Amino acid sequence: MAKEKFIREKEHVNVGTIGHVDHGKSTLTSAITCVLAAGVLPGGKA
C-alpha cells in the first residue's frame, strides 16, 4: 500500500503553557484561539 504525500495547506503553531493548576492556562489559550479565528488581530488566519 503506497502512502500519499501529506500536503500542508494551513499554517500552524504549537503553543506550550506552563503554570499552576487553576490559574487560567486553558482560558488564555481558548481566548487567543478565538481572537485569531475571528481575525481581530492582523495576521490571524483560521
DSSP 24: S
Give this prediction's pTM.
0.55
Q: H or E stretch including 32?
A: helix 25-38
| Cα dihedral 6, 35, 14, 25 sign | negative
pLDDT in tens, the chain (46 residues): 678 888 888 887 787 889 999 999 999 989 988 888 887 766 545 5
Pair 45, 36: CB distance under 8 Å: yes
What cell numbers appear for 10 in the block? 494551513
